[in-house]
Amino acid sequence: MTGTTTQRPERLPSRLTITLWDFSWFTQAGPGEPFHDLDEAMAQAVERGYNTVRICAMPHLLFGDDQLEWSRLRVSQMGPGVGHGTRWYNVAGGVELDGRERLRNLFEAARRHGVVVIISSWEYQQSPAFSADDAWYRSLMAVPPQERHLALARSLVRLVEHLTEHGLGDQIAYVELHNEVDLSRLRDVTGGDQDPYWSQKPHNEAAIEWLREQLPGVMVTTCYGITPYLDMDSAATNGDVAHFHIYVYGTLGALERWAGVRSLPPEYPTANLCSLLREDAPAFGPESTGHVPQWRYDATGVSPAMFYSYDQVDPRLWDRWLYEHHHLYAEAMRWAIADKLDAVARFAASHGIPAVIGEGWIGYTPLHSDYEDGPLGSAIAEFAVDRAIDLGYWGVVLGSNSAPHHPGWGNVGWQQRLNRLLLESAPS
């Protein structure tokens, strides 16, 4: 069973090779940070074989219903010293941006380099946590949960119209309502966490249908963080793209359970976790977590314990545990990826839409862990990419860590080789 890419607009590539820029394209924009020069970052992406970037376009912040039109964004760290070893959170802060201008600059750089952009939002997950104050977060949470899907849709329409007015509409690959709707604060439509797929489905489908009416000629969809591969029709069925994420954890999940990375005090930190810490790691407590204001924790999914674990762990000890136990889980990880890729491909084919994996494959590691980018982890990624090619996927990410703000960006030859395989095998 294979997916189809026959419905894509002719202006779009026959296959999307995706690099995940998320919110980091504006949170890591200061001097010396990876997105300070968007044109250079785009050139590096093209050098590695990418033709697509996926971003949080800040639709609510820049084009929300409240009409505040907060174009100025002051970027902040989570807290003093917090996030330096945590992937995605190692921002310098202190940068002030004109958000709309920054968005246009990214699309202009994309146009110069022949790159298209997947528009999404991380605003009900992480993005507001990087603002210097809580106004963005408070504005998002002020929207009643049952109205959030359509409110986001309205802001996305204004955003697309803004880009189109500036002659940048052709750089849009497609529009996602939100990143990982099942793992975001959009899911509070029932007042709880029960059954996030079926409870959200009417809201997702109504917002997608409204977007389709307002944006003719633009592909629209939503995005799921945990692929419901045993019940695919619990996801929205009226999107123009079957966009899902596949993380399998496997060995990484075993390590997190063994070490209690996501445990809560007083059980945290466990003796096992302490055995993986740097020799100079401070004791867990307010001093080591930087007195982060509570609203920042509320605005993101990373707890104080998780920050402490990722910031203070010795990456060599962390990776050693993973390498020593990898053989116990590797085959199951491959089977899990294959099963989920097969399910998404069948879902896409049954609805006559293209399939895309926007994030994957192993899971969330400390910033300087090399497990996923090293020989064992990259073999898992290669298996996934090969399987996606066999199934006719329209878009594939090599791995969520293959982006300018991760050390894996330095694996230039590996990215070039896999992206070349994806492009050379693309349907004509």
Q: How confident is the model at residue 193 (pLDDT cuts 50, 70, 90)?
A: low
pLDDT the model gives residue 194: 57
Q: How confident is the model at residue 160 (pLDDT cuts 50, 70, 90)?
A: very high
Q: How confident is the model at residue 67 (pLDDT cuts 50, 70, 90)?
A: low
Does 1 score more than 60 pLDDT? no
Give a yes or no: residue 10 inside a domain: no
- Provide the domain limits for residue 339: 16-424
Question: What average pLDDT does the segment 247-275 reach?
Answer: 95
For residue 22, report the phi and psi dihedrals to the nearest 5 degrees: 40, -130
Closest CA to 122 of 183, 71, 65, 211: 183
Rounded to an integer, what distance in angstroms lies between the CA atom of residue 251 and that of residue 257?
Answer: 10
Give a yes or no: residue 297 inside a domain: yes
Strand boundaries in 222-361, DSSP class E: 242-247, 355-361
Give a yes or no: residue 414 inside a domain: yes
Does 380 score more than 50 pLDDT? yes
| Count of domains for the chain | 1
Q: What is the 3-state secondary structure (H, E, C) of 46-72?
A: HHCCCCEEEEECCHHHHHCCCCCCCCE
Question: What average pLDDT does the segment 323-332 reach?
Answer: 98
Closest CA to 360 of 339, 380, 331, 342: 380
pLDDT by residue (tens digit) across 289-305? 778 999 999 999 899 99
Rounded to an integer, what distance in angstroms lies between the CA atom of residue 326 and that of residue 328?
Answer: 5
Cis amide linkage into residue 295, ω under 30° from 0:
no
Does 7 score more than 80 pLDDT? no
Does 68 score more than 80 pLDDT? no
Does 329 score more than 70 pLDDT? yes
Is 0.85 topped by the overall pTM?
yes
Rounded to an integer, what distance in angstroms lies between the CA atom of residue 121 and that of residue 29?
Answer: 18
pLDDT the model gives residue 287: 78
Give a yes or no: residue 7 inside a domain: no
Give a yes or no: residue 6 inside a domain: no
Tell me what percent of the residues of the chain surpass a pLDDT of 90. Answer: 86
Rounded to an integer, what distance in angstroms lies between the CA atom of residue 331 and that of residue 227?
Answer: 19
CA distance readout (Å), 145 to 154, 175, 187, 305 = 15, 21, 8, 28
Give a yes or no: residue 225 inside a domain: yes
Does 427 score more than 90 pLDDT? no
Give a yes or no: residue 95 inside a domain: yes
Q: CB 31: neighbour CB atoms within 10 A?
A: 9
pLDDT the model gives residue 253: 98
SS3 243: strand
Give a yes or no: residue 216 inside a domain: yes
Q: How confident is the model at residue 198 (pLDDT cuts 50, 70, 90)?
A: confident
Mean predicted lDDT score pLDDT of the chain:
93
Token pair belonging to 80: 């003093």
Does 5 score more than 50 pLDDT? no
Q: What is the DSSP string of 142-173?
A: HS-GGGHHHHHHHHHHHHHHHHHHTT-GGGEE
Question: What average pLDDT does the segment 399-423 reach?
Answer: 98
pLDDT by residue (tens digit) across 343-353? 999 999 999 99
CA distance readout (Å), 152 to 73, 103, 179, 203, 212 = 19, 17, 12, 11, 14
Does 153 score more than 70 pLDDT? yes
Tell me how far apart the 2 most distant CA atoms of the chain are, in Å. Answer: 58
Rounded to an integer, what distance in angstroms lies between the CA atom of residue 359 and that of residue 87?
Answer: 14
- We report the CATH number of the domain holding residue 50 as 3.20.20.80
Does 6 score more than 60 pLDDT? no
Cβ(83)–Cβ(307) below 8 Å: yes
Tell me what percent of the residues of the chain surpass a pLDDT of 70. Answer: 95
Question: What average pLDDT does the segment 138-151 reach?
Answer: 94
Q: Residue with structure tokens 């494959």?
A: 361
